């Protein structure tokens, strides 16, 4: 299952980031997923729930930002967002274009951390 390996990678990346930041856990994670990335949000959420148990991400809220496909239209001279992925043509003038500028993203956009625990310092 494709999404399971992605979920595992997210847990790895975030855990690494938490360690570097000295934070105990993440409270929220935001992902940017392009319409063309072949990642199904429901499947990813399901996988994420499976793999994050017992990790510092166990209670983190998973936010997903869906990125629509954008192509470069030569005729209009600008980037245009497609209403769907059936037809790679400019929705304004109809010029076909395979110059994809957005929609393939699979990015970890942000991680919200719980305040780092300072109990070790207080005890000393």
Residue among 5, 118, 120, 14 at smallest CA distance from 60: 14
CA atoms of 44 and 6, how far apart (whole Å): 8
Binding flag, residue 81, Zn ion (CB under 5 A)? no
Number of residues near Zn ion (by CB under 5 A): 7
Stretch of residues binding Zn ion (CB under 5 A), selected from 13-21, 36-44, 75-83, 101-109: 75-83
Query: Using CB under 5 A, which of 90, 103, 111, 113 touches Zn ion?
Result: 90
Report the residue count for the chain: 124
Scanning residues 44 to 63, which ones bind Zn ion (CB under 5 A)? none
Stretch of residues binding Zn ion (CB under 5 A), selected from 40-48, 61-69, 85-93, 115-123: 85-93
Tokens of 7: 């979920």
Binding flag, residue 89, Zn ion (CB under 5 A)? no
Binding flag, residue 21, Zn ion (CB under 5 A)? no
φ/ψ bin of 92: left (φ > 0), alpha (ψ from -120 to 50), beta (otherwise):
alpha
């Amino acid at each position: 299952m494709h999404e399971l390996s992605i979920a595992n990678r997210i847990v790895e990346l975030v855990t690494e980031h938490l360690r570097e930041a000295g934070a105990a856990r993440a409270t929220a994670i935001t992902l940017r997923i392009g319409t063309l990335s072949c990642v199904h949000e429901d499947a990813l959420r399901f996988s994420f729930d499976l793999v994050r148990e017992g990790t510092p991400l166990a209670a983190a809220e998973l936010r997903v930002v869906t990125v629509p496909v954008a192509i470069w239209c030569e005729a209009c001279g600008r980037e245009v967002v497609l209403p769907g992925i059936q037809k790679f043509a400019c929705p304004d003038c109809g010029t076909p274009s395979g110059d994809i500028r957005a929609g393939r993203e699979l990015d970890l956009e942000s991680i919200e951390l719980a305040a780092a625990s300072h109990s070790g310092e207080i005890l000393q």
